[in-house]
Structure formats: structure tokens, C-alpha cells
Structure 1
């Protein structure tokens, strides 16, 4: 009798394990909501999980669990990026809910770098607004190739205004280099869907949105390259250790692997104790997966956003590089910029890290908006860098320069940042 029960138990565990493995190997797609503040990005994120919770293994994530920081709940806005997992019959989705408020544009850029495609949420009553434009521009700059439009709060306006908003959004997409003819537009109401209201603007609109998402072609994942996992956040699990969270850009990561956390002038050796995808333990993850990794013998205070998890000694940390760059025009950046000269110091953003950097112009004394130019940059602290890496240079909350790394050099002392003459001599 005991043997029979034992066999049934083992068989049950095997079937559960096989079922889980099938789910774990389902294709992952990184999606995210972008758009102006209060246009309904977080409400739509919650509605997606609500609708899918009825037909798949998706867990419903309420609005207040997505905007869970006390300040977010008090102010009613998203400040930090939030990640939510859900799945359709076709594939898994790792969903990034980006902040729409201008003050938190840095967090939005961090979120957008992790997306394969974006859902642009536009309020039907307001149409495109300042952060709508900026989010579309930033999405293009960080490499997001595809956009699906969700015109929200459609129950509040008439059909004529809806058509005008559609035209306005299509013009905006075309302006920033997206092909609006290939960008599906879904009209609906995230709040009605969240409240389980039937009808074209209710749950059916979210179902149509999911159908359009499933039609998007997943990008080719580079699983043969060495591991790169930019850290977007970290936290402590009491009694177990430090967990780093991020989306794998390249390579494969397995439980038990020896890896390094590099960046901010540090190099931390560790071993992967555990890996989870939205609280599900897995033994192996690969490029495109959004994961949490439990790191052995790493103090949480030593980990910073922007560090990379890599194979040992595979990626240099560097504070001095050369780049090909473009100075955005006022109509592209949204602000009127002064000329840039050697010694110009601003925030540099790349993957999930940001650092203060000082520029040295190599072939000219000054560049103007609209100019392409070659520059060298010295960062305040050495960060993980590779040739071909894209970055943006911020002025306040606006992007004014975008560029690509072309060469890496030996590190320069930090004191050079304070002295333009010394800096120029060191570079030359």
C-alpha cells in the first residue's frame, strides 16, 4: 500500500514538473506601457492581468500592488518602474510599467531599455501630451522597434474625437521614425475592463490588445554570447541573501554559475544560488528573460542599479570612452540647448546605469543642435562598457545627445573631471 502511494506521489510530481517545464520554456516577450501621466498605463497593466487571470495561469495584480510605494499611492502616480508577469496561450510576457511624470523620466528610460515592444497609452479626451511625445522619442532612441497604441478612456468621448486622436497619434509615430501603418491601434477603456464590464470598450478591448501583442514577432535572442544582465533593482531576502533583478540581454544563466557583478568601480564575485521568474524557481534562464537572481556572499549595500551580472572577467569596467554622437535639434529634444564645448558635464545614461560624465570634443571646439560629432567622455566612476553600446546624455529631464560607443580607453583619474585643461591634456 505504501509503495503504491509512493509511486502515485512520484508520478504526480513528475507530471507537475513536466507541466512546469513546458510553461518555463514558453517564449518570453518583454512589453511595457509608456505615455503621459494619468493616461491609464498602470490601470491598463492591472486590466491585462485581470482579463488573463480568467483563461490562463496569470495572477491578477491589482492597481495598488503595481503602484505599491507609499509616495506612489499618496500622489497617485508611478515613480519607479514596476514589473508584472502574465501569459497568453502563445507566450509569456514580462511587462514593464513606466512612470509618466516628467520628474521620473530617468526611470522611464531604464524601463524602456528592457522592452521588445511598447504599448503607447493615450487618453482619448486629452490626446497626445508632452510626455507622450517624449516617451515615443525615448523609445525610439533606446531601440524599441514596435509600438501598439491603446487609446484609453474611449467611453468619455464621441466617435469623431476618437478618429482625430487616432490621426494625431499616427502623425506622432511617423514624426519619430515609427511606421504608423504597421502600428495597431486599439480603442477601449482600461478601467471598464478592470471592472469586468462587457462591451467593445470593456474586456473585449483588452482581449483585442492581447491579440495584437501576440502577433508581434519576437526579436532574435543572442544566447551564444557571453552573459550580460544589467541590474535594474535589488533587495534582501531575510535569511537567504541579496537578490538582483533585471532582464538578460545576452547569454544564458544557470543555477550554480560563478558570475561577477561589475560597475560603479566594483567587481563582486558570487555564485548563483537560485533563479526565479516572477516567483517561479527555474534552473536556467536566457536572453530576453526578466529574472531575479539570488547571489551568494554579496552584501546588499554593495549592489547598485546599473551594475552588470557577467561571466568572470568578460566585460571591462571603464570610465573613458570615445563615441559617435548626435546633438538633438530643439524639435527633437523638446528644449532649446546651448552649444556644447569641451568640459560640458551632464548625466550619461546607458542600459540601467547613469553617471555624471564630462565631454571632450576631439575634432571641433563647439557643436550645435543637429550636428553629428566625435566625442570622448570621462565618467565619474568606471562602469561596464562595450563597443557598440548606445547611450543618451540628459540635460535636466530631457535627452539632448544620443550616441554609440566606438572605442574604450584606460581609466583616467576622477580629479580630471574638475579640471578641463588637465582633462584635455590627458585625453590628447
Structure 2
């Protein structure tokens, strides 16, 4: 669970997978439209000759790029697809293909999470490119909650910055395995000497240790994503990206997948495809779904019965959805107003108790001045908040029993 405080000047993180953080929501309705358009492109675009069938021949892992704004997360995502496209293991995505919304192009930053797939010789990956800007931290939370591992991108020219720290804290709080992290020191081609790179690496390792990650054991790779995209300086570009992918293959542990309990998938995005129906997209958390399964969509005081008409992942049809899959589920007989982001898809007759009201006892950590944005006013005894769990967001209130 994550807790986003709607405070103007402070942020604090809380234990038990909870976090509070000041956010800017001025473009909310516009961004939801952008996300819907992206989801349609990701899951509904027709392929020549019909839809391919997803073949589960390799272990699947969800990874993503996290880090401060403008440190090169999207460029590295593009570089990974560029390197693997030469082996026909990925479709090359240009930077502008990933940050393709008008506001993203005009501002030159990532706003929404972007999902794509690639594979290596050993594994199949779902990749989530997360926004680094402080105003869109809740979109990053949604992406981080789906990750089995993270690529922390740090510009060697800047070192650790506020969102570097915040993203590490978020990744830990949402329950990502602490050993499944690798650091890519980007823009190494702009650093004149090796000593500077070593100092930045030392700083990042200390930061990782501070936030509970095994800083001494984490792989740190210095390279240039832009060189890999442009095909320049291969010893800093293509070769370093290849080393990064090898680290994902050999160092990241695939979590245990719960195949035998009741299936569940939170709806991250909801949209309609003309002539097909209403689709919910998200990450399958546990259990399995197949076509024609009878399901119930739960949340916001609703319990709506439906039937799964189709399952897709990255333009490919899925015979059986398993935990960890990035899915688009086509639901029969539902309109776009029946579904909302944050609702949960469960089998009919499920044993879960669903409620719109919940209480949680948490421990909070006030972030120091300079560590991230804010904390320029005292933390009040109680404050209105936005509570979030998985992709669900609901108004909440915080009350502190003690503060030390």
C-alpha cells in the first residue's frame, strides 16, 4: 500500500509498504486520456496476418527503469531494444516512440509509465519505463508495484539526486526484492576521468546501503545509453548495454509465482476498443485466468459479473494468463463506465472480503530537508491524504498516535 499525502510542502515515507509524498495533479484528466491511448496502442493494435500467440518458452521477469528526471531512463530503454533488435529479440523503440504523448514531447520528460517487451537468450522481460519527474511520482509508484527488479539509472554527471533517493525508497516500500537491482551509470562518455566515475559509484553504493539494499554487492555499470542508440563508442554503448542485460539474466532472481490460489488482477488502465468491448490492463498477481472464465470486477462499491472474452500481452494472444504477465483482459458485456482504474478482477464466487473502508497502523519517516522536495512546514497531527494500494487511489486521513 502507498499513501500519498496531499500536503503542499512535505513528504514522508511509511513502513509496511506505505509512502506519503506531495504530488502535482494539475493534468490528471488529460493524463488519463494519454494513458488510455497508450494502452490501446500496446494491447489492441492489429498485426499483419492476425494476432500472434504468446509462447511461454522462457522464464518471465518484470523489470523497469527508475531514477531522477533527465538521467536517461527512456534513452536506456530505447538502447536496450536497439541492441536486442540486432538479434531479433526485440522491436527497436525510438525515444519518441516511448515518450509519444504530445505533452511528453513538448516538455521532454516521461509522464506515464510505458510497457514494452524484449527477450534475451535466457529470459523474457516485460519492461516498464517510469517517469522521474517529481510531479508524476504516483505514476512511478504504479509502475514500481509491478516490478520484480529495477534498473537504477544515475547520470554520472550529476550523481544521486532527489528522485534517485525517492525512487529507491519507493521500490523498497512496494516490496520489490532488494537483491534485484542493478545500477547503470549513464552519460559516462561525458566524464573526463575514471576517478570521477569511481567517486560517483562509491556515492551510489553508500546510498543503496542506506536504503537497505546490498550496496556492496550490487552491479554498477558505467556506460552511455545514447552511444548505444546512435551506434557510437561501442565500449561505452552497445557493450555496456549487453553487460546490463547479462546482469539481468544472471543476477536477478525470479520470484515464486503463486499459480494455485484464487486468481487476481488489479486494473491499472481501462479503455474501450471499438467493436470489441472493454479492456482492463495490468499485472496478473496470482492464480491463472483463461478465456471464457467467469469473473467479477470488484471495487468502488461495485460487484459486476462478466466473462473473459480474450487475453493479450504485447499484441499477442495468451492461452492462459499466469502471475507476472502484463495483460489486457477483454471483458464481455461491460461498458467503459463500469470499470475504473484500481478495481480488481477476481473469479466469481471468490472468498475475498472487499470493502471501501480500511484502517492501517503505520510507522512514518520524515524525509530531511534536501533529501527530496519539501518539508518546509511542521507535520500536522492529522492531514488529508490520498491512499493508494496497487493502482487504487482513495481519499484518506492520517492521525498520528505518537511522534518522536
1:174 aligned residue (209, 222, 231): 209
Alpha-carbon shift at residue 302 of structure 1 (Å): 2.4
Contact 2:291 2:311 in 1 (8 A): yes
Alpha-carbon shift at residue 359 of structure 1 (Å): 4.1
- Given the alignment of the two structures, is residue 258 of structure 1 paired with residue 290 of structure 2, yes or no? no
Which residue is 2:187 aligned to?
Answer: 153
Once residues 387 and 378 of structure 2 are traced to their aligned partners in structure 1, the CA distance between those partners, rounded to angstroms, is 18
SS for the counterpart of 2:74 is helix
- Given the alignment of the two structures, is residue 194 of structure 1 paired with residue 233 of structure 2, yes or no? no
2:388 aligned residue (338, 346, 349): 349
Alpha-carbon shift at residue 27 of structure 1 (Å): 1.4
Contact 2:227 2:234 in 1 (8 A): no
SS for the counterpart of 1:52 is helix
Structure 2 regions of 5+ residues with no counterpart? Answer: 1-51
- Given the alignment of the two structures, is residue 235 of structure 1 paired with residue 267 of structure 2, yes or no? no
Contact 1:123 1:151 in 2 (8 A): yes
Which residue is 1:299 aligned to?
Answer: 335
Deviations 1:135-155 (A, max 9, x none): 011111111122110000100
Deviations 1:255-298 (A, max 9, x none): 11111221122222211111111001111010111111111111
SS for the counterpart of 2:65 is strand
Once residues 226 and 279 of structure 1 are traced to their aligned partners in structure 2, the CA distance between those partners, rounded to angstroms, is 26
More helix by proportion, 1 or 2?
A: 1
Which residue is 1:324 aligned to?
Answer: 361
Once residues 354 and 182 of structure 1 are traced to their aligned partners in structure 2, the CA distance between those partners, rounded to angstroms, is 36
- Given the alignment of the two structures, is residue 247 of structure 1 paired with residue 283 of structure 2, yes or no? yes
1:339–1:100 distance in 2 versus 1, CA, 3 Å:
closer
Contact 1:56 1:88 in 2 (8 A): no
Moved more, 282-291 or 294-303: 294-303
RCO higher in structure (CA 8 A, sep ≥6): 2
Could you state the TM-score of these two structures normalised by the residue count of structure 1? 0.77
SS for the counterpart of 1:46 is helix
- Given the alignment of the two structures, is residue 211 of structure 1 paired with residue 246 of structure 2, yes or no? yes
1:308–1:214 distance in 2 versus 1, CA, 3 Å:
same
Contact 1:36 1:100 in 2 (8 A): yes
Alpha-carbon shift at residue 115 of structure 1 (Å): 0.4
Which residue is 1:55 aligned to?
Answer: 87
Once residues 102 and 198 of structure 1 are traced to their aligned partners in structure 2, the CA distance between those partners, rounded to angstroms, is 32
Once residues 60 and 114 of structure 2 are traced to their aligned partners in structure 1, the CA distance between those partners, rounded to angstroms, is 17
SS for the counterpart of 2:268 is strand
The number of residue pairs the alignment matches comes to 345
Alpha-carbon shift at residue 339 of structure 1 (Å): 4.8
Once residues 363 and 248 of structure 2 are traced to their aligned partners in structure 1, the CA distance between those partners, rounded to angstroms, is 32
Deviations 1:9-33 (A, max 9, x none): xxxxxxxxxx966x32421100000
Contact 2:96 2:105 in 1 (8 A): yes
Alpha-carbon shift at residue 252 of structure 1 (Å): 0.6
Once residues 44 and 305 of structure 1 are traced to their aligned partners in structure 2, the CA distance between those partners, rounded to angstroms, is 29
Which residue is 1:5 aligned to?
Answer: none
- Given the alignment of the two structures, is residue 108 of structure 1 paired with residue 140 of structure 2, yes or no? yes
- Given the alignment of the two structures, is residue 142 of structure 1 paired with residue 174 of structure 2, yes or no? yes
Once residues 379 and 187 of structure 2 are traced to their aligned partners in structure 1, the CA distance between those partners, rounded to angstroms, is 42
Q: How is 1:346-425 mapped onto 2 (pairs within 5 angstroms)?
A: 346-359=385-398, 366-368=401-403
2:162 aligned residue (123, 126, 130): 130
Could you state the TM-score of these two structures normalised by the residue count of structure 2? 0.81
Which residue is 1:120 aligned to?
Answer: 152
Once residues 102 and 69 of structure 1 are traced to their aligned partners in structure 2, the CA distance between those partners, rounded to angstroms, is 18
Contact 1:339 1:367 in 2 (8 A): no
Once residues 321 and 355 of structure 1 are traced to their aligned partners in structure 2, the CA distance between those partners, rounded to angstroms, is 11
Contact 2:311 2:317 in 1 (8 A): yes
Structure 1 regions of 5+ residues with no counterpart? Answer: 1-18, 371-428
2:347 aligned residue (303, 311, 314): 311
Which residue is 1:64 aligned to?
Answer: 96
SS for the counterpart of 1:43 is helix
Once residues 184 and 56 of structure 1 are traced to their aligned partners in structure 2, the CA distance between those partners, rounded to angstroms, is 26
Deviations 1:74-129 (A, max 9, x none): 11101111101111111110111110000000111111000001000000101111
Once residues 199 and 349 of structure 2 are traced to their aligned partners in structure 1, the CA distance between those partners, rounded to angstroms, is 54
Q: How is 1:262-273 mapped onto 2 (pairs within 5 angstroms)?
A: 262-273=298-309
